[in-house]
Structure 1
Amino acid sequence: MVSWAACDTCSSKVVKQGFLLRITFGFDTGHGEELALLWVPRTMLATRQIGLGFQSLPCSRIQAALNLNRGPRLQAKWVPSIQLTQRAWNSTIPPEDEKDGHIETAPNESILWVDNIFPLRLVGLRLPWRNPETDIPGLMKRFENSSLGVMDPASIVKRALPSDISLRVTEILPRVKDGGVFVKFVNPPEVTAKEVEEKVAKLLAEKPIKRFFSPLRGVQAGLVKGVPWLEDLQRYPKARLRIEFVPKNPGEEAVELSQESLYSMFRRYGSISDIISQPWDSKVLPKYAYVDFFFVRDAIMARNCLHGFVVPEELGGGKLGTKFRISYERRTKPHRVWDWITNHPRIVIPVIVALLTGLTVVVFDPIRSFFVKAHVSRKYRLSNSRVYRWLRQQTSDIFALRRGGAEQAGLNAVWSHRKDIIEQIQAWLMETAETFIVIQGPRGSGKRELVLEQALKDRENILVINCKEIVEARGESAIIKKMASQVGYRPIFSWANSMSSMIDLAIQSTTGVKAGFSETLDSQLQKILQTSASALQALDLESRSKNDADASLPADAYLEAHPEKRAVVVIDNFVYNNNDNTLIYDRIADWAAALVQSDVAHVIFLTNDSSYTKVLSKSLPDRVFRHVALGDLSPDVARGFILGHVNADQKADESNDDNSAEKQSVAVVPDLAELDACIGTLGGRLTDLEYLARRIKAGQSPKQAVAGITEQASSEILKMFLLPGKITSDGEHKWSVEQAWYLVNQLSKNDVLRYNEVLLSDTFASSLTAPDGESALEGLVNAELITVRSHAGRPRSIMVGKPVYQAAFRQLAADKVLSAKMELARFKELVKIETGNIDKAEKELVMLGSLPSQPWGAHERVQYLLSKVDGAQKKITEYEGEMGKLKKVISTQY
């Protein structure tokens, strides 16, 4: 009798780590002979069963685990080979085969492999029947019972065995991973194992057993000729088998079998697709070969039947015999096309780029062209629908859905004054001349309203491009997005440009070939503009009818004969801030030139800068542009504009208010004499006149309104040009504060300044912060502080940027404290300039004085330098005197 007891010296480890058991023989544990000490770790104190919780291991269970099974060798039992659990420490090898994982047989025993019992890859799943790997005690009872269920695996095994032979089954080992079972049986004396295999195969052929998971393939069986390996590795069946040729005993020599021998031994288990021998020059040991089956079940049958099989000499195994060691191998499918693609990137990458480009053209270009046409024609806008127009008519008295009546009445006077210009533009749009129409004028002169609301008010298919929004965008992606939104080009993937650049850089660094995925800003702008040109041409031809007399003409000839059918492209704010992004203006000009030369559209440029000819002449060098210059309004037109505002407002009050007499008595009627004087001060700029009219309607007199406008203009000039920090160091300005104040002070005294005289002044010629005088003047012109008039192509005179600036300059110069402060800063800079001149002259005098003997020609140079020092010193003395007076003004006045 075997008994156990906890060790007294190790009893403290029971809870923490486990039990240390003393095993003895005898009836009493205290007097028996000690056999061994057994350590039971704590991990064995609790077991996990499928579908149950953790249970403690009682002493009786430990006692039962220690009892050795000494029953008969041929006792029939079901031995589980795989536990349905994912714990790596649980073995799936039978207890008596734990040493090598193989099935041992007696001399009178054989093993039969019965296939297609379980579905493949069912490891770890709960089966619908009772688990064959956990139902150890009652399986043989179910096997011997005659009323077995059809779905029971034991029933399938029993049906596969012939009934005319008295086979005594000793063990059944299920292999769920391989989908079958090993059946160990005792060979009958009168029948050999080979005959048993034939009878089983014949029975299954006559009475096939079909499983629910495999309706086309029945249960098959084969005699195991080798020694099966019962492994529980994560290796699943494959259709390819790797057969390694190993010696029968270690140290002996194995023989590599030929493909004919392998075919004769493996063909009986199923159809073979290919047999691949080891390359003759391979140094890999042991030698091997691949056998590819058409079906995985055939490969499973061959492996389980021939693994460990020793090939005798008569079958080609050599004198000592060659043993098979078979394993599943994943078949590597040949990817010849992919290998060729990866090995030829210099050819494949350009082809892929071309295909992607073609796909983009085929798929996205029609969509983008549709959106461009919808943007230009405005067919799908809510404001063009009949319902919206009806609601607009019905609610015109309630909601202000259009420009106010006062503003419209005021503009009518302007349009009457510029009626000849409007008619001239409309006449140009009916001609076939292939040139541009340029409308030039200062900001606030009404260029956009003149063109869009008057000259093109009855015109369809109008595309407006605002260059200001495009130029002010930051980054290439933003520029592309703005350009696309201006023409209605969508969908646009502006973010993909940076990603494509990174991909292109990576491919170029690895293959040495530029893939071309990324596109430059120039190419993307051209792509957007080309799509827009195609959409415009399609819009021009939509109204073309088959019944027309010239319907048979080509598209170009038809549009040339019908200029009224062409679309109109209005490019606003052209040459806006021409210092940066000249590429955008060049591309727009080239695109506009292509439109007018191909008779696709009329192009109208709206610009404030007179240097537009430099850009447009590059695109149309042999054309004379149609030019219109818009200036300030004359005093009569300006007065009519203001009175139109006021009178229209009073008429609206009379028609909408029952107490019109009361309203008439309090209505503001401006003094015409005072109004004429204020218009002379304010000038004829349209925006300033509109601002004046609004102030008069608010109840101010013309003099008060002009004073407020002048005060606001003075504040803007002070903030933008005269505050400290507005110098070239901020990266946005090319002028200095002293230069801006010099022009303000001089223009407050004179209406016109000579251009070259300003450049020769010390403030512009010798400035320490903005040494380039012409660039400073150009920057001030772009900022609209001044205006430069030209004559015969050269700058001639300098005037104020706006008429109201003349009064603002005078107001700023009349401020004694501000004038003293700005003049003090200018004199300080002049003192620094003269001090620098003296330093240069003194250094040269020191150098001449250090010569050992005075050269005969150095006397005149010394006199020149001395006179220069004397003149600079006199200027410094004069400046210091003026600075003293200015400091006195600053310190005594507010």
Structure 2
Amino acid sequence: MISLRGAPRCLTRPAHPLTAQCRKQYFYSANGVRPRFIRPAVPAGRRKESSEVGDNESGHIETRPNEGILFFDNVFPLRLQWLNLIPFLNPDKVLAESLKKVNHPDLALADPSSIIKRALPEKLPLTVTKILPRLREGGAFVKFTHEQGISATELESTLKAYLEEKPIKPWFNPFRRVRAFLVQGKPWIEDLYRIPSSRVKVEFLPTSPESSAAELTQETLYSLFRRYGKLSEIITQPFDSKVLPRYAYIDYRNIRFATMAKNVMHGYAVPPEEGGGKAGTLLKLSYEPRVKTNWIWSWITNHPRIVLPLLVALLGAASVAVFDPIRTFFIKMHITHGLRLEDSWLYRWAKRWLSRGYDYLKLRKQDAAAENLRIIWEDRQGAITQLQTWLIETADTFIVVQGPRGAGKKELVMDQALKDRPNILVIDCKRIQEARGDSGTIAAAAAEVGYKPVFSWMNNMSSMIDLAAMGTIGTKTGFSETLDSQLAKIWNNTTTALKEIALSHRTKDEKDAQIADDEWLEAHPEYRPVVVIDNFLHKNNEGSTSLVYDKLGEWAAALTTQNVAHVVFLTTDVSFSKSLSKALPDRVFRQITLSDCTPDVAKKLVLQHLKAEPSEPAEGPEKVSPVQMQTNIDELDSVIQVLGGRLTDLEFLARRIKTGESPTRAVQQIIEQSASEILKMYLLEVDPANRKWTPQQAWLLIKQLAANEVLRYNEVLLDSLFSNGEQVLQTLEQAELITITSSNGRPNGIKPGKPVYSAAFALLTEDEVLKARMDLAIMTQLISIENKNVEKYENELSTLAELPGTPSELKPRIQWCMEKVMGSQVKIQKYEAESAKLKKVLTTQF
């Protein structure tokens, strides 16, 4: 409650009703000039303080005879209800005091005391005793007293006429004036958190417990509530509704109209003459949250089968229109190195000047490394020249460079064949294949080509949306995209970027300016970018991983057939043709196979390593003396034949010789290390769930290759252990235990996977205990096979014996089964005898 200081005081007036002529006389003198009135002082005891919830916190304002209540609206803003949620804050008091201090009273009139003082004319015969602000409803109650000869209704009419002639418009609502109405009922002054609404619910209650209430008609409600503002609708309670008490809804055009009606008419008793029934009807008003009917939103929510696919289409179109150009730009920058610091002229200039201070030994080390590679490239100059020739031809270039690990495939392609060629895109399948989950695979594939921004995490969220849609509308929304579609997006954007890079060399004034883009690309292969796909078919035998490689093959085929780019595959898998044939079934691949170095080149490479001086003093063993070095060189001829021409093994040999070991000892350690790797990877720690071969099959190949340089491919397939022989041999070749040689496209031979494996196989077979253990496992498996054969033949003989009589036609079959049983039994006895010998070795040796 805000005390009104200096409020207008009552004037001495004749005790008769205020007529229109009298009201006019109060406002103006004969000459039209408003007179000044001297107001007597009012005793202080007549001015009271009241709380925000009425007198004595009862929720009502008590009135006595000659007292009335006016409600002024547009005193506070309506959007301040949130202040009531702040703890320990009384916004009714704080806001009024704050606005009084901040705002200029003559300009803003935001202080409720100032507004009400301005709203009440000076000669109005009433005395204001209380002001009760209603912050939630944007107004204030004003309690006043008047003389007996003047009615409150006449005072209301006079006040309304004055406010129409002298309107007051606060700063927060300059388009609406302050209005005032006499309170007809008994307002409920509550401090609950109830938000005003333009809809008012009017409940019809009896005036006393023993009487009944009448349900007011729409005409009666209109006559009662229209005076407070423009009505938009009056909704009566359905006739068949069982809800008591009966009620009606009154919708106003403006919220302030509703607040005025609620505060003025709440608790009003409609007399019988106005349609209130025999005993009258008491009106209880409350705000009813109005549900806004939005037909657009209603249609959207009621038709998810149409809206959700349409929303997916719109989002897809927006993604293509907004993100695809950005992604294509980043892919182009990734290929052309437009955003790489190392390719800027400033970086190259700084590097050139700083390199002058490099240590001399380091420069010599770089020169030595270049000399080592030069020896290899001289040996493979034919492959380099062939590759460069294919890249300038106009025909489709689908090139495959195949070779074992450590053969230098990537160095040959990147450092030699493509060293002077711009616009090279390298895609490492190893990083894509080793990513976990679909999101990781998508992110890895995008990183390889520079595709960004990429929202791989959205795939999981969209999958959950689709799952929820399946439970609600019965069909998928299409938000979630499979790994196939996501990879297709990445490769399609990359194709666009590659084509733009190739066409960037085209000018308007050249002789081929009139031909189409596809024809121009076909005529100028030198401008096509080169796509190098490294580690193709890496871990292709582990799980269902063919999707990534199938999509890569299809994309590479599209690049070559459309003359967008040259494609070079680098792979260690000899069965690459099966995967690539799916993408280009009618084309022949251009293939370069890199094998191990010849013994002469291998010796030159090791010698070059030995001649190179280290850049820093060696730690550990002392430097090899010249005499010892010459002795080591003399031993190279014998050890090179054992070690073979694998580049990684040759570099390992050279480093060991530099540390002081003799070539023989160094090669022996390499052999022992290879034997340990073979033992671990192929024999002892084989998981049948993840490997397609058994230790017995691997050991049989190791034992036979230790005795023979080459095995016949078809002879191995005839062995009893290789019932699924071709699949096992291909898997072991991918695992690099063996190498399958071919003749006219037909596999004809089996060799060790690496040259050093021949010596490693021999070393393993010299271990009597290991040999006895693995042979015993083979014997056990062979005995099991023969026992199954015997059981099969015995079952057949038992079936034949049950036939009535012994037909002469079945005698050859019976004889054949008996011979098979005898043959298998002889083998079983032989295997058991050998097993007994092997068990004796295992029980007597460590």
TM-score (norm 2): 0.83
More moved, 282-291 vs 714-723:
282-291
From the superposition, tell whether residues 125 and 212 of structure 1 become closer, same or farther in structure 2 (CA, over 3 Å): farther
For 2:365 and 2:335, the matched residues in 1 are separated by 23
From the superposition, tell whether residues 871 and 566 of structure 1 become closer, same or farther in structure 2 (CA, over 3 Å): same
| Preserved CA contact (<8 Å) 2:92 2:133 | no
Q: Which runs of 5+ in 2 are unaligned?
A: 1-44, 98-108
From the superposition, tell whether residues 168 and 604 of structure 1 become closer, same or farther in structure 2 (CA, over 3 Å): closer
| Preserved CA contact (<8 Å) 2:213 2:276 | no
From the superposition, tell whether residues 131 and 821 of structure 1 become closer, same or farther in structure 2 (CA, over 3 Å): closer
From the superposition, tell whether residues 198 and 819 of structure 1 become closer, same or farther in structure 2 (CA, over 3 Å): same
Which residue does 1:78 correspond to in 2?
A: 48
- How far the C-alpha of 1:773 sits from its partner, in A, is 2.5
Alignment partner of 1:713 out of 662, 674, 683 = 674
Which secondary structure state, in structure 1, belongs to the residue aligned with residue 454 of structure 2? coil
Which residue does 2:822 correspond to in 1?
A: 870
Which residue does 1:837 correspond to in 2?
A: 789
- How far the C-alpha of 1:162 sits from its partner, in A, is 4.7
> What residue identity is the alignment partner of 2:836?
G
Which secondary structure state, in structure 1, belongs to the residue aligned with residue 532 of structure 2? strand
- How far the C-alpha of 1:858 sits from its partner, in A, is 5.7
> What residue identity is the alignment partner of 2:710?
V
Alignment partner of 2:709 out of 744, 751, 762 = 751
For 1:354 and 1:831, the matched residues in 2 are separated by 65
Higher relative contact order (CA closer than 8 Å, sequence separation 6+): 2
Which residue does 2:26 correspond to in 1?
A: none
> What residue identity is the alignment partner of 1:707?
Q
From the superposition, tell whether residues 870 and 537 of structure 1 become closer, same or farther in structure 2 (CA, over 3 Å): same
Which residue does 1:824 correspond to in 2?
A: 776
| Preserved CA contact (<8 Å) 2:54 2:61 | no
For 1:132 and 1:629, the matched residues in 2 are separated by 91
More moved, 474-483 vs 155-164:
155-164
| Preserved CA contact (<8 Å) 2:75 2:110 | no
1:353-380 CA distances to partner (integer Å, 9 max, x unpaired)?
A: 0111112112222222122112211232
For 2:69 and 2:191, the matched residues in 1 are separated by 20
From the superposition, tell whether residues 366 and 281 of structure 1 become closer, same or farther in structure 2 (CA, over 3 Å): farther
From the superposition, tell whether residues 178 and 603 of structure 1 become closer, same or farther in structure 2 (CA, over 3 Å): closer
More moved, 778-787 vs 116-125:
116-125
Which secondary structure state, in structure 2, belongs to the residue aligned with residue 763 of structure 1? coil
The alignment status of 1:676 with 2:637, answered yes or no, reads: yes
Q: How does 1:264-275 map to 2 (within 5 A)?
A: 264-270=223-229, 272=230, 274-275=232-233
Q: How does 1:350-499 map to 2 (within 5 A)?
A: 350-393=309-352, 394-395=354-355, 397-398=358-359, 404-499=366-461
| Preserved CA contact (<8 Å) 1:129 1:152 | no
> What residue identity is the alignment partner of 2:310?
V
The alignment status of 1:334 with 2:259, answered yes or no, reads: no
For 1:777 and 1:663, the matched residues in 2 are separated by 44
| Preserved CA contact (<8 Å) 2:624 2:659 | no
| Preserved CA contact (<8 Å) 2:76 2:110 | no
Which residue does 1:240 correspond to in 2?
A: 199
From the superposition, tell whether residues 196 and 656 of structure 1 become closer, same or farther in structure 2 (CA, over 3 Å): closer
For 1:253 and 1:267, the matched residues in 2 are separated by 22
- How far the C-alpha of 1:110 sits from its partner, in A, is 3.7
The alignment status of 1:742 with 2:700, answered yes or no, reads: yes
- How far the C-alpha of 1:534 sits from its partner, in A, is 0.8
Alignment partner of 1:604 out of 563, 568, 574 = 568
The alignment status of 1:764 with 2:764, answered yes or no, reads: no
Q: How does 1:531-546 map to 2 (within 5 A)?
A: 531-546=493-508
1:92-144 CA distances to partner (integer Å, 9 max, x unpaired)?
A: 4535x95xx655655654433344556664757446979999xxxxxxxxxxx
- How far the C-alpha of 1:806 sits from its partner, in A, is 1.2
Which residue does 2:731 correspond to in 1?
A: 779
> What residue identity is the alignment partner of 1:223?
L
Alignment partner of 2:545 out of 581, 603, 626 = 581
> What residue identity is the alignment partner of 1:507?
A
Which residue does 2:21 correspond to in 1?
A: none
Q: Which runs of 5+ in 1 are unaligned?
A: 1-74, 83-91, 134-149, 766-771
Which secondary structure state, in structure 2, belongs to the residue aligned with residue 668 of structure 1? helix
For 1:468 and 1:749, the matched residues in 2 are separated by 36
For 1:81 and 1:282, the matched residues in 2 are separated by 43
| Preserved CA contact (<8 Å) 2:402 2:570 | yes
From the superposition, tell whether residues 794 and 424 of structure 1 become closer, same or farther in structure 2 (CA, over 3 Å): closer
| Preserved CA contact (<8 Å) 2:92 2:135 | no
More moved, 203-212 vs 797-806:
203-212
For 2:411 and 2:557, the matched residues in 1 are separated by 24
For 2:365 and 2:487, the matched residues in 1 are separated by 35
Which secondary structure state, in structure 2, belongs to the residue aligned with residue 516 of structure 1? coil
| Preserved CA contact (<8 Å) 1:79 1:174 | no
For 1:629 and 1:117, the matched residues in 2 are separated by 92
Q: How does 1:66-105 map to 2 (within 5 A)?
A: 76=46, 78=48, 80-82=50-52, 92=53, 94-95=55-56, 105=63
1:43-93 CA distances to partner (integer Å, 9 max, x unpaired)?
A: xxxxxxxxxxxxxxxxxxxxxxxxxxxxxxxx95636353xxxxxxxxx45
For 2:129 and 2:674, the matched residues in 1 are separated by 112
Which residue does 1:638 correspond to in 2?
A: 602
| Preserved CA contact (<8 Å) 1:112 1:221 | yes
| Preserved CA contact (<8 Å) 1:76 1:171 | no
Which residue does 2:832 correspond to in 1?
A: 880
Which secondary structure state, in structure 1, belongs to the residue aligned with residue 721 of structure 2? helix
The alignment status of 1:229 with 2:199, answered yes or no, reads: no
From the superposition, tell whether residues 419 and 336 of structure 1 become closer, same or farther in structure 2 (CA, over 3 Å): same
Which residue does 1:626 correspond to in 2?
A: 590
Alignment partner of 1:303 out of 251, 256, 262 = 262
> What residue identity is the alignment partner of 1:254?
A
From the superposition, tell whether residues 479 and 443 of structure 1 become closer, same or farther in structure 2 (CA, over 3 Å): same
- How far the C-alpha of 1:778 sits from its partner, in A, is 2.0
- How far the C-alpha of 1:538 sits from its partner, in A, is 1.6
For 2:363 and 2:69, the matched residues in 1 are separated by 97
- How far the C-alpha of 1:165 sits from its partner, in A, is 5.2
TM-score (norm 1): 0.78
| Preserved CA contact (<8 Å) 2:169 2:177 | yes
| Preserved CA contact (<8 Å) 2:624 2:658 | no
Which residue does 2:559 correspond to in 1?
A: 595
Which residue does 1:26 correspond to in 2?
A: none
Which residue does 1:139 correspond to in 2?
A: none
From the superposition, tell whether residues 401 and 848 of structure 1 become closer, same or farther in structure 2 (CA, over 3 Å): farther
- How far the C-alpha of 1:196 sits from its partner, in A, is 1.2
1:688-730 CA distances to partner (integer Å, 9 max, x unpaired)?
A: 223233333333333233222222211111111121x4252xx
Which residue does 1:616 correspond to in 2?
A: 580
Which residue does 1:192 correspond to in 2?
A: 151
For 1:240 and 1:402, the matched residues in 2 are separated by 92
RMSD: 3.6
| Preserved CA contact (<8 Å) 1:275 1:289 | no
Which secondary structure state, in structure 1, belongs to the residue aligned with residue 286 of structure 2? strand
Which secondary structure state, in structure 2, belongs to the residue aligned with residue 513 of structure 1? coil
For 2:679 and 2:96, the matched residues in 1 are separated by 97
For 1:301 and 1:445, the matched residues in 2 are separated by 92
Which residue does 1:258 correspond to in 2?
A: 218
For 1:426 and 1:528, the matched residues in 2 are separated by 28
| Preserved CA contact (<8 Å) 1:670 1:702 | no
Which residue does 2:647 correspond to in 1?
A: 686
- How far the C-alpha of 1:819 sits from its partner, in A, is 1.9
From the superposition, tell whether residues 454 and 814 of structure 1 become closer, same or farther in structure 2 (CA, over 3 Å): same
For 2:833 and 2:95, the matched residues in 1 are separated by 114
1:422-454 CA distances to partner (integer Å, 9 max, x unpaired)?
A: 112111111110241122223322221111110
From the superposition, tell whether residues 202 and 550 of structure 1 become closer, same or farther in structure 2 (CA, over 3 Å): same
For 1:484 and 1:402, the matched residues in 2 are separated by 39
Give me the identity figure in percent.
Answer: 51
- How far the C-alpha of 1:214 sits from its partner, in A, is 6.0
